[in-house]
Structures are given as C-alpha cells and as structure tokens.
Structure 1
Amino acid sequence: MKQRLRILLRASFVMLMLGITATPLLADLPQQRKALDELQAAKKAADPLPLLESAKNRIAKANKGNKGGDKEDVLDKIDEAINELKAGNRDKMESKINAAIANLHQGKDKSKRPK
C-alpha cells in the first residue's frame, strides 16, 4: 500500500512539473497566431501601421527565445516594413511583411523539431 502511494505521489509530482515547464512554451502560440493574423491584415489595411506595431510587440514579448536568430529576423523585417510604409512604398512593405511571415513560420517549424 505504501509503495503504491509513493508511486502515485511521484507520478503526480512528475506530471505537475511537466505541466509547469510546458505552460510558458504553449503561452506564446496564441500570441504568435495573433501576430501572424495582424501581419496578414496589415497587407490589406488602409492604415497598416498599428497592425505592424502590434505584431512587432507580440513577437518581441514572446518568451520562447530566438530560435536561431529567426525572432530577430522577424523583428527586423517588421521594422523594414514600417520604414517602407513610411516612405510610401506599399509594394515593398508587403514584400517585407511576407518575409517576416515566412521567418515566423520557419521559427515555429524549428521549435517543433526534436533536439
């Protein structure tokens, strides 16, 4: 009886620890999805600047790390898109947004690969 209780307590502890460590990793996924949605919407918006800035803030605050530089690349591409927008180059802005989206997807794919 005592052995079963010990096994149950150990298993519960392990499950609790796994839940605690996995929670921050999963918390970023909704933020990344929202950032992706905002980047897509910015391409068609009459005033894309607020959407670009919001997506940039979501990516910057993501706590999953840099994933081999992809996070910084995404932030750089969003900055470049903002600069192109301010210069009046919507076509170039859209190209930079597409590059940011591709880099964001690339980083998400890397995070799914086994290490």
Structure 2
Amino acid sequence: MTIRFAAAMNGTMPAIAGVLCTGAPLGAVNDNAGTRPSLRTVAKATAIDAGIAEALMHFARHGLAAAEQARIEAEAAHDRGDTSARARWLGICRHLDRRMAAALAKRLAS
C-alpha cells in the first residue's frame, strides 16, 4: 500500500512556506576575518590531524578491532621498552577508544 504525503494548503500557499525563513542570508560569512592563527595553534592542529589520520588508517586496516589491536601493539612496545612506539600506539588507541586507552595508560604507568 502506498502512503502519500501532501502538505496542508493555506489558501494558495502551503503551510510549510510560512515556516521557512526567507530573510536568512544564504552566503557564508567568516566571523573572524581580522584574526590569524598563531604558529603554535597551526602546529598543534597539524599534530592532531596527523594523529587522527594515523588512527583512521589503522581503523581502515583492522576495522572494529582496531582499538584492541592498538592496545596490543602498545603493550608489546612497553614490554620492549620502546617508549616512543608505546606513546604512538597509545595515541592511536586513545583516538579509537578513550576508555580503553585510559585504562591501559594507568596499567602501564604502575
């Protein structure tokens, strides 16, 4: 059975037309046109973007098990004594599952 919807008519104008805001500008406007980001802000944003990109690539390889795999890699790096790899894998795990990463960081710190 087909269900058809027709908006209620208010004389010659549909009822939905009265709700639409015709006075709103359609063009985009930059509110902070006079300000420029500092180099520190740009460097921080670039580092965050690189971490997210790395986490997304890891997620593309491992799917829903990506956070678990990153946790395993962080534990293996901790066992090897490789602090930079441990921090990298913990960061990937943090992007994918914040609670798992917090528990892992707490466990590895003790």
TM-score relative to the length of structure 2: 0.30
Q: Which has the higher helix share?
A: 1
**Of the two structures, which has the highest relative contact order with CA contacts closer than 8 Å and spacing of 6 or more?**
1
